[in-house]
Amino acid sequence: MRLLVSLLLCLCIPQVWAAEANAPKLDVGKGGECVKDTQWMRKNHMHVLKHQRDETVRKGIRVEQDALKNCVECHASTSDNSVTAREDSFCVGCHRYAAVKIDCFECHASKRKQALANKDVK
Amino acid sequence: MSEIDTQRRQFLKTSAGAAAIAIAPGMMLYQTAQGDTQAASSTVRWGMLIDTAQCKEGCNDCVSACNKENGLSGKTGATDSQWIRKIEIKDVSSGRALSLPMMCQHCEHPPCVDVCPTQASFKRADGIVLVDRHLCIGCRYCMMACPYKARSFVHETLTDQNPDVPRGKGTVEACSLCVHRIDKGQKPACAEACQNKAILFGDLNDANSDIYKKVRSVASVQIRADLQLNPGVRYQGL
């Protein structure tokens, strides 16, 4: 029995390490933790966004903290102000790794408001 | 009353009290978290009164303000989005010419909402008619149903949209009465931009508002009133 457990452990631990090593290196921008902790957000951000979008569009309840606009403000890269511009950008990097198509930014702005405002001036 | 009955009653009372204590802080937390982010209220009916005597021919300020606010290209081709447009009309017999802005009339009984197969077209509690682009499949029935030709279809891929106004290819869109500004307590961009104050915006249900008083004191009409859609946009001097 003890042998079996140790064998299992030996098999599992490298797997965990490997998963961490393969995980995408993301440009998290300014980052921070304003809604929930990182691990929770990795798993559940889509539910928060979907709930928020229906509340906002249909009822007019605008919770700043849960707004996609607010996510972009902090998580856009500090170099190009975008969450989608590069392979390692905050949204794209992870979605590519997970092979999940992301279509939020076909309509929503993927850049900081400030960056878009500056572009208009030029 | 038997011994068991009394006990049962006591148990229910206690547990109801405990439940109330357990739930109450949660409700308090919910309210605090919401802050000033209130849902649109059905006691409000947003509307506009457009004074055609003040609207100048050739002036395009409302249209350009709308384009800038909502990130529209400003082009007027068949495949370009126009949320508001200027119309010049002339009475042939008298020769009287008028210029007026035309946009989504935010009907009380919107035909676009009736025909929408996915419920993407909807009327918010405060009377603003919107498209939920998350649900819009781009079938364009609403464009056909609208008697005011108020809606546009996005034909091309868009980039660098205004963060407050998401819009994208394959969906229908129209004047949102600048809903993102209204929710912040501001006026729509067109009403703010009009130098001649031809566009009066306000709550048609609020007895203290300018629009409420003016609608009751001057003659104004709804366009295509015969359809009985009760639009929120009214025109004075038409």
pLDDT of residue B132: 97
Considering only CB atoms, B133 lies closest to which of A54, A59, A107, namely A107
User: B13-17 contacts: CB < 8 A, separation 24 or more?
Assistant: none
Considering only CB atoms, A57 lies closest to which of B132, B157, B163, namely B132
pLDDT tens-place string over residues B75-103: 999 999 999 999 999 999 999 999 999 99
Backbone Cα Rg of chain B = 24
Longest dimension (CA), chain B: 93
pLDDT tens for chain A, residues 1 to 122: 777 777 776 666 666 666 666 778 888 888 888 899 999 999 999 999 999 999 999 999 999 889 999 999 999 999 999 999 988 899 999 999 999 999 999 999 999 988 888 776 54
Structure token digits, residue A58: 């249909």
CA distance B212 to chain A (A): 23
Asked if the C-beta of B155 comes within 8 angstroms of chain A's C-beta atoms, the answer is no
pLDDT of residue B30: 39
Considering only CB atoms, B40 lies closest to which of A59, A63, A116, namely A59
Considering only CB atoms, A107 lies closest to which of B37, B40, B168, namely B168
Positions of E strands within B94-137: 97-103, 121-123, 129-131
Asked if the C-beta of B152 comes within 8 angstroms of chain A's C-beta atoms, the answer is no
CA distance B33 to chain A (A): 8
pTM: 0.81
In the stretch 33-92 of chain A, residues with CB closer than 8 A to chain B read 53-55, 57-64, 69, 72
Q: Locate the chain A residue with the closest alpha carbon to B33.
A: A63
CA dist B104 and B82 (Å) reads 10
Asked if the C-beta of A121 comes within 8 angstroms of chain B's C-beta atoms, the answer is no
**What element of type H or E holds A113?**
helix A113-121
DSSP state of A89: B
Q: Is B48 helix (H, G, I), strand (E, B) or coil?
A: strand
In 3D space, the residue among B188, B185, B167 whose CA is nearest the CA of residue B38 turns out to be B185
Task: Mention every residue, 6+ apart, whose C-beta is less than 8 A from residue B145.
Answer: B111, B112, B114, B115
Number of H helices, E strands in chain A: 5, 0
Q: How far is CA B82 from the centre of its chain?
A: 16
pLDDT of residue A89: 92
| Per-domain residue ranges of chain A | 2-121
Asked if the C-beta of B124 comes within 8 angstroms of chain A's C-beta atoms, the answer is yes
CA distance B167 to chain A (A): 5
Number of H helices, E strands in chain B: 7, 10
CA dist B62 and B52 (Å) reads 13
Instruction: Tell how strand B199-203 and strand B172-173 pair up.
Output: unpaired
Structure token digits, residue B196: 């001649």
CA dist B214 and B229 (Å) reads 21
Regions of chain B short of the pLDDT cut 70: 1-6, 8-9, 11-36
Q: How far is CA B160 from the centre of its chain?
A: 24
Contact A61 B166 (CB under 8 A): no
Sign of the alpha-carbon torsion through B226, B228, B229, B230: positive
CA distance A102 to chain B (A): 13
Structure token digits, residue A52: 């928020």
CA dist B126 and B42 (Å) reads 5
**What element of type H or E holds B89?**
strand B84-90
Which residues on chain A are in Cβ contact (under 8 Å) with B160? Answer: 109, 111, 116, 119
In 3D space, the residue among B181, B180, B160, B158 whose CA is nearest the CA of residue B170 turns out to be B158
Backbone angles phi, psi at A93, to 5 degrees: -55, -50
